Structures are given as C-alpha cells and as structure tokens.
A and B are shown apart, each in its own frame.
Chain A
Amino acid sequence: MIAEFGLRLSHLQAMLLFAIVISIAFGFLGRRRPADRVKYILWSLFLFLLVGVGIGWAMYPFSR
C-alpha cells in the first residue's frame, strides 16, 4: 500500500479511516464513561458511513 509515491487509499478506505478516527476522537472528547464512549463511537461511526454512502448514491445519477 505504501509505494514510493506515497500512501494510496481507495475512496472507501479513505472514508472508513476518516470516519473511524473522527468517531474515536469525538467519543473520547464528548463522553466520560467508557460504556458511553463506546456507544457514542459506534453511533457516530454509523452516521458517518450512512451519510457518506447516502451522499455517494445521491450523486450517482449525475456521475455520467
């Protein structure tokens, strides 16, 4: 994955990485108890992916 020109990620990989990292940061900053953090991280991750995939499909008719 790491070649001489740098790190290459697919669109889906980049979106997944972004969603996971930001969800973890939000969970730790926004909640205090571990159980609440896990719930917040999972919910935030789900919403990130839902919105990302949703916008992707919404743009599909205009992609060609």
Chain B
Amino acid sequence: MADETAVPAAAPHASKSEAVALLFGVAGWLVPGLGHALQKMWGRAVACLLTIGLLVFVGAKMRGNLFSSSGNDAFDSLGYIADLGTGSFYLVAKSLEKDGADVSHADGDYGTRFLATAGVLNLLAALHAYEAARGRKA
C-alpha cells in the first residue's frame, strides 16, 4: 500500500513558475507596478505606479513622518515596515523630505498616514502580482 502521507516530488516546471512568480512579487515591491508590467497588465501597472507615487509625493510634501529602523517602540517598528512597503519609493520620499518630518500640525500627521498607506498598498499590489503570476484568477 502506498504511503498516503508522502508528498509527491514537485515538478521542475512548477518550481520554476513559482520562482518566476516570486520574482514578479519582489519586482512589484521594489518598483510599484513593475510586477504587473512584467506580466503585461499595463492598466494595473500604471494605476499602481501613479496611485502609490502620488501618495508618497503628497505624504512627503506634507512632511509626514518617515520612520527609520531606529524606532523606539513597536509602533515605530510597524510604521517602518509599512513605509518600507513602498520599496524604492522609500528613498524617493526621503529625498523629497529635505527638512525632515513635522507632525506638529495636522498636515504632517496626514502625511504620515499617506506614506504608510502607500507602503501597505504597494505590498497588496506586489502580492496581487505574485498571485496573478501563479495563475490565480485576478
């Protein structure tokens, strides 16, 4: 009798497509929209690039808080993870915020939310690109 708990060896084709899907996901994280662009999903690619780019630009111009790795508490660390979600746009936001963050007024506080939302939205888009490359209906 065959061992029902045995896991069949994965086909080389499946592992290759999984690696490609992962590559698309990482590309989508690094540059918003790139994961979709590589799959020729142009509408989604442009939408991701523009919406995430706009959120980062507005958030940085409103002098939102861009968290760094040297956070003091769990909220700072979570904020840093969210901000890192924008991939390369984290550096763009940093370069736009020449004078640093200013959360002493409402604009800066809104800017912080805009930056964090851009990161989380980009992570969602990268996950979507990964799932689409794996063949999930998207």
Interfacial residues, chain A to chain B (CB-CB below 8 A)? 2, 5-9, 11, 14, 17-18, 21-22, 24-25, 27-29, 32
Give the CA-CA distance A6 to B62 in the complex, in Å. Answer: 6
Interface size class of B (residues with CB under 8 A): 20 to 34
* B58 pairs with A29, CB closer than 8 A: no
Known: A21-B51, A28-B43. A14 touches B110 (CB 8 A): yes
* A7 pairs with B44, CB closer than 8 A: no
Which interface residue of B43, B54, B110, B114 has the most chain A CB atoms within 10 A?
B110
* B58 pairs with A25, CB closer than 8 A: no
Find chain A residues with CB under 8 A from B52 CB: 25
Find chain A residues with CB under 8 A from B47 CB: 24-25, 27-29
Give the CA-CA distance A8 to B58 in the complex, in Å. Answer: 10
Known: A22-B117, A25-B121, A28-B44. A7 touches B51 (CB 8 A): no
* A6 pairs with B54, CB closer than 8 A: no
From A5, A11, A18, B106 is in contact (CB under 8 Å) with: A11
A-B contact pairs, 30 of them (CB 8 A): A2-B61, A5-B102, A6-B61, A6-B63, A6-B99, A6-B107, A7-B58, A8-B107, A9-B62, A9-B107, A9-B110, A11-B106, A14-B107, A14-B110, A17-B58, A21-B51, A21-B54, A21-B55, A24-B51, A25-B51, A25-B52, A25-B125, A28-B43, A28-B44, A29-B47, A29-B48, A29-B124, A29-B125, A29-B128, A32-B138
Find chain B residues with CB under 8 A from A21 CB: 51, 54-55
Which interface residue of A9, A24, A25, A27 has the most chain B CB atoms within 10 A?
A25
